[in-house]
Chain A
C-alpha cells in the first residue's frame, strides 16, 4: 500500500508519520509537498500534526486552501482514504471533509499526555483490527482539540456510529474527568458517513513502538493496510480534467 504524508509550512509530525509507516510498518510512504497537486498515486493521504501556516486565523484554516488540498478533497470525494491527525483533523474539518470544528481546550492549556481511548466502532477501514470497546493508550499534544458540532450533527454522528474513539478513564468510562479538552461526548476521533475519511486528535504515529510510548496506535495503521488489501474500499477512477 502506498501512503502520502503532506508537509505544510509548520507541519512537524510529518516525519514521525513517515517513520512509523516506513520503518515500523514497512509501507511505501512518500512525502507530499503542499504546493504540489500530484498525489503520486497514493492509496491514503495522511495530514500530519503541527501548526500549518502558524495556526493563523484558525487552526487548519489556511492549509485548506493549499494546492495539494484540491487533490486531497478530490481523492476523498472518489472514496479514497484520507486521514488527519491533530492539525490534520482540524484541516479536514475546515475543508468540510469532516463535520464539526475543533476549538481551544476548555482548560486553555496546551496538553501533552498519554490518554486512554475506547474504540467505539470497528466497522471502519481504520479500526477493523480492534475489538469494539477495547481501551488503548495514545498520546495527545494540542491546544485546540475540543471537538464541537451542532446538536443535530452530533446526534447523526452518534446514530451512524461515526464516533470512532472516545476519551475514557482507566475503567473505560467516558467521564468529564477523563475528557482532556472538553470535547462534546468525549469525542477523540470520527469518520465521515462514507467511512473513508478519518480524523483524530491523538497521535497514533507516536504510539507504534514498545520502546517509546507503546503500541496503542499501531493497529490503526494495520487496520487500513488490511482494508486496502481486502479491497473492500476502493476509490473510483480519477476523472481526467475537462471530462
Chain B
C-alpha cells in the first residue's frame, strides 16, 4: 500500500515562507493569489496488513515523527 502524507503549517502559525512566495506571485502579476502556505509532501510504502491497520499506523507515524502537532497539521491518503 502506498501512503501520501500532506503536512501544512497550522492555521494561525506564522508562515514566513508562504508570505514571501505570495509577495513574489503578486510581483509577477498574479494578484489573485492569496493565503499561500508551504508544506511538505511525503510518500511511503506500507508492507502487509489491511487498510484499517495501515491507516492507524500511518496516523501514528504522523503524530510521532512526520508532523509536529505544535506547528503543523497533517492528512494522508492510502492507495492500494
Contacts and interface: CB of A to CB of B under 8 A. Distances in A.
B20 A108 contact: yes
Of the candidates A57, A93, A101, A103, the one having the most CB atoms from chain B within 10 angstroms of its own CB is A103
Classify chain A's interface size.
Answer: 10 to 19
Contacts of B17: 104, 108
A149 B66 CA distance: 19
Given A101-B68, A101-B71, A148 B16 contact: no
Contacts of B16: 104-108, 146, 182
Contact of B14 (A58, A93, A150, A182): A182
B28 interface: no
Of the candidates B17, B65, B68, B70, the one having the most CB atoms from chain A within 10 angstroms of its own CB is B70
Nearest to A60: B68
Interface residues of B, number: 11
B26 to A, nearest CB: 16
Of the candidates B17, B40, B68, the one having the most CB atoms from chain A within 10 angstroms of its own CB is B68
Contacts of A93: 70
Nearest to A105: B16
A154 B65 CA distance: 23
Contacts of A57: 40, 65-66
A149 B70 contact: yes
Nearest to B10: A150
Contacts of A61: 65, 68
Contacts of A107: 16
B14 A148 contact: yes
A101 B70 contact: yes
A105 B14 CA distance: 10
Given A146-B14, A148-B71, 16 more contacts: A57-B65, A57-B66, A61-B68, A93-B70, A100-B70, A101-B68, A101-B71, A103-B13, A103-B14, A105-B16, A108-B20, A146-B16, A149-B70, A150-B70, A182-B14, A182-B16
24 contacts: A57-B65, A57-B66, A58-B68, A61-B68, A65-B65, A93-B70, A94-B68, A103-B13, A103-B14, A103-B71, A104-B16, A104-B17, A105-B16, A106-B14, A107-B16, A108-B17, A146-B14, A146-B16, A148-B13, A148-B14, A149-B70, A150-B70, A182-B14, A182-B16
